[in-house]
C-alpha cells in the first residue's frame, strides 16, 4: 500500500494497513531545525545543508532520506510567503530583524535564538482602523509566482506514492489581524470597533480568496488535502467567546471553505486550531471542515477518547499522537511510548486518524524520544 492510498483510506474513515504518518507536510506538523539536525545525526545520516520550509518558526524541510526511512506518507507544498520568501535581514545589534510583505517586523536573537518573534505591528495605534486598512499596502496574494514549481513537485510526490498537502500564503484571519494590529489592540477592536475589525478581517479573507482562486485551478487533481488555519483556543478555554466566533469569524471562514471545496472538490479540508476548541467543533463541521489538527489533547475538553466518540464520524483527527508540551521533550523513551499507545488506542479505531505530534516538534526534543515515538507508532499503530 502506498502512502497516498493509506492516507486516502484513513480520510475516508476506513482502516488502512497502519495509521498514516505525517512529518513536515505543513508549518504546523513539522520539526524545528535544531531537533532535525540532531535526529539526522542520531540516525547516522550524512550531514547536509538543511532547507527551511518556514524561516520564522525555523522549521526544517525533511529530506528524502528521512522521509523514506521513517515511512512518511504525505508531502507538503509550500507556496512563497512571508515565512519563506524575500526575507532580507538587517543587523539590529543583539538580533537580526526583517520586515515582511505585510509590514510586520520580526526579530531573531543572535545568541541562542530559536525562532522569530513579532516586534512591530503596522496597524497598531491607528485611530481609525477602517481607514488604516484602506491605506495599507497589501501583498498580491494571487500572483502565480507564489506557486512556481509546485505543480512539478506535486507530480514528483505523486510518482513516489505520497499524498500531497497544499497550504496557503497567510495565517488565519484572526491570527493575521492580531499580527497586523497587535493582539490586545485587535481584541479590543472586536468589542469597541466592530466595523473596523470586520473591515480588516474582510481584507484578509479577500487575500485568501485571491490565493486559492489562483492556485487551486492550476494544481487541480494533484492535491489531496488543502490546509487552512486559525488559532482560537488556549490551554483552558477560547481566546474569544463562541458567540463572537459565530457572529464574526464563522461566516468568513465559510466563505473561504466554500471556495476551496468548489475549486478542489476532490480534496479534503484540513483545519488547524490550537488549544481548547471543543465547543466550536460542531460549527467547524457545519461549514465544511473535514480534518481537525493538532488535536490538543492536554487542553480543556480535548480528551481524545471523548473527541473520537462525539466527533469521529464527521471529523478526521490529524495529530494528537504524543504530548509535545511535556512528554516528548522531557519524558523518558518509555513514557513517550506509553503516551503514544494511549493516544492511538483512543483515536485510531475505525480509521479517520493521521499520526502527528501535537503541533511542531520543538528544538529541545531529544532524538531518542522522537524515535521512541516512531517505534511506538510502528508497534501500536497497525490495524
User: What pLDDT is stored for residue 343 in this prediction?
Assistant: 98
Q: Locate 50 and state its grid cell.
A: 538543511
Residues 126/132, Cβ–Cβ less than 8 Å: yes
Give this prediction's pTM: 0.97
pLDDT of residue 184: 96
Longest dimension (CA), the chain: 58
- HSE value, Cβ hemisphere, 13 Å, CA-based, for 172: 20
Q: What is the pLDDT of residue 188?
A: 97
Residue 247 DSSP code:
I
201 vs 189: CA distance, rounded Å? 11
Cα distance between residue 366 and residue 328, in whole Å: 8
Contact assessment for residue 369 and residue 326, using Cβ atoms and an 8 Å cutoff: no
Residues of the chain predicted below pLDDT 50:
none
Residues with Cβ within 8 Å of 294's Cβ and at least 6 positions away in sequence, in order, are 28, 29, 272, 274, 318, 319, 320, 356, 357, 358, 359
Per-residue DSSP letter, 299: S
How many angstroms separate the Cα of 160 from the Cα of each of 155, 191, 284?
A: 9, 50, 33
Q: What is the predicted pLDDT for the residue at 99? A: 97
Is 94 exposed, middle or buried, given 0-12, 13-18 or 19+ CB atoms closer than 10 A? exposed
Q: How far is CA 370 from CA 100, 332, 347, in A?
A: 33, 11, 20
Cis, peptide link before residue 294, omega less than 30° from 0: yes
Amino acid 215: pLDDT:
98
Grouping H, G, I as helix, E, B as strand and the rest as coil, residue 5 is helix
Instruction: Provide CB contacts within 8 A for 306, sequence distance 6+.
Output: none
Half-sphere exposure of 289 (CA within 13 A, CB side): 26
Q: Which domains does the chain have, with CATH numbers?
A: 3-79+141-380 (3.20.20.210)
Amino acid at each position: 500500500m502506498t502512502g497516498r492510498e493509506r492516507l486516502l483510506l484513513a480520510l475516508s474513515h476506513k482502516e488502512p494497513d497502519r495509521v498514516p504518518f505525517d512529518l513536515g507536510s505543513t508549518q504546523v506538523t513539522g520539526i524545528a531545525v535544531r531537533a532535525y539536525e540532531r535526529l539526522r545525526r542520531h540516525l547516522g545520516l550524512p550531514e547536509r545543508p538543511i532547507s527551511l520550509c518556514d524561516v520564522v518558526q525555523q522549521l526544517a524541510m525533511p529530506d528524502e532520506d528521512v522521509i523514506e526511512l521513517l515511512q512518511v506518507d504525505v508531502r507538503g507544498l509550500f507556496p512563497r510567503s512571508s515565512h519563506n520568501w524575500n526575507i532580507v535581514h538587517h543587523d539590529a545589534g543583539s538580533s537580526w530583524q526583517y520586515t515582511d510583505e505585510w509590514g510586520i517586523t520580526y526579530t531573531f536573537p543572535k545568541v541562542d535564538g530559536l525562532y522569530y518573534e513579532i516586534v512591530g505591528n503596522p496597524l497598531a495605534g491607528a485611530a481609525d482602523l477602517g481607514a488604516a486598512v484602506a491605506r495599507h499596502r497589501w501583498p498580491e496574494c494571487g500572483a502565480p509566482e507564489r506557486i512556481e514549481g509546485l505543480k512539478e513537485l506535486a507530480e514528483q510526490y505523486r510518482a513516489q506514492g505520497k499524498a500531497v498537502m497544499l497550504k496557503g500564503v497567510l495565517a488565519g484571519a484572526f491570527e493575521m489581524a492580531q499580527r497586523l494590529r497587535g493582539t490586545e489592540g485587535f481584541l479590543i477592536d472586536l468589542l469597541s470597533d466592530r466595523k473596523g475589525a470586520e473591515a480588516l478581517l474582510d481584507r484578509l479573507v479577500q487575500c485568501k480568496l485571491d490565493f486559492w482562486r489562483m492556485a487551486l485551478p492550476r494544481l487541480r487533481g494533484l492535491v489531496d488535502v488543502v490546509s487552512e488555519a486559525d488559532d482560537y483556543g488556549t490551554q483552558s478555554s477560547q481566546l474569544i467567546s463562541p458567540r463572537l466566533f459565530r457572529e464574526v469569524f464563522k461566516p468568513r471562514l465559510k466563505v473561504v471553505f466554500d471556495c476551496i471545496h468548489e475549486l478542489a472538490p476532490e480534496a479534503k479540508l484540513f483545519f488547524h486550531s490550537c488549544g481548547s476548541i471543543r465547543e466550536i467543533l460542531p460549527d467547524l463541521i457545519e461549514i465544511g471542515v473535514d480534518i481537525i489538527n493538532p488535536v490538543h489533547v492536554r487542553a480543556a475538553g480535548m480528551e481524545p477518547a471523548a473527541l473520537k466518540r462525539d466527533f469521529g464520524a464527521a471529523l478526521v483527527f490529524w495529530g494528537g499522537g504524543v504530548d509535545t508540551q511535556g512528554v516528548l521533550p522531557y519524558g523518558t523513551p518509555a513514557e513517550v511510548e506509553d503516551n503514544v499507545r494511549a493516544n492511538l488506542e483512543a483515536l485510531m479505531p475505525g480509521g479517520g486518524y493521521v499520526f502527528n505530534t501535537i503541533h511542531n516538534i520543538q528544538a529541545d526534543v531529544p532524538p531518542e524520544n522522537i524515535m521512541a515515538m516512531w517505534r511506538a507508532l510502528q508497534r501500536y499503530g497497525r490495524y
